[in-house]
Amino acid sequence: MASKSVEALQRVPLLSGLTKRELQTLAQTMEERTFPPGRQVVVEGRRGVGFFIILDGRAAVTVGGDVVRVLGPGDWFGETALVQHDVRTATVTADTELRCLTMTAWNFKPFVIDNPKVAWGMLETMAQRLRERDGG
């Protein structure tokens, strides 16, 4: 399973700066989960302790009930609540069967701190998502 996870993580643009050894370490801290179509993976306004990287499938991101984005393989979500230690800012619902690698908050923070390129990539994505949400 770990080698399959490493292969999947190698295809995630956010993680492109990591070595194979770093990806192997990361894969050991992650768990694979599958969600059926229609399942809410994270829910706006609720607390959450997970970060998700999509391996297969599609998911809709909604804010206030409005679809703001569709995610697919290589995309990630859940980081904002973990960084802020706060509630989820959006709901993510599986459009198709959704296969993800997940990481808990207590593994997420040390991983990001130890990998500044990943941290910077997350910051860029978070800024882009804020701009899209605010219409500018």
Share of the chain above pLDDT 90, in %: 39
Domain count, the chain: 1
Q: What is the pLDDT of residue 1?
A: 47
Q: What is the pLDDT of residue 62?
A: 95
Q: What is the pLDDT of residue 136?
A: 58
For the whole prediction, is pTM greater than 0.85? no
Q: What is the pLDDT of residue 135?
A: 67
- Round the average pLDDT of the chain to a whole number and report it: 87
From CA 78, how far away is CA 55, in angstroms rounded? 15
Q: What is the pLDDT of residue 3?
A: 67
- Total count of residues recorded for the chain: 136
Tens-digit pLDDT profile for residues 113-124: 888 888 888 788
The phi and psi torsions of 26 (rounded to 5 degrees) equal -60, -45
Domain extent at residue 64: 2-134
8 A C-beta contact, residue 100 and residue 35: yes
- Indicate which CATH number applies to the domain containing 128: 2.60.120.10
How many other C-beta atoms lie within 10 A of the C-beta of residue 58? Answer: 17
8 A C-beta contact, residue 106 and residue 82: no
From CA 36, how far away is CA 94, in angstroms rounded? 7
**22-42: buried (b, 16+ CB within 10 Å) or exposed (e) per residue?**
bbeebbeebeeeebeeeeebb
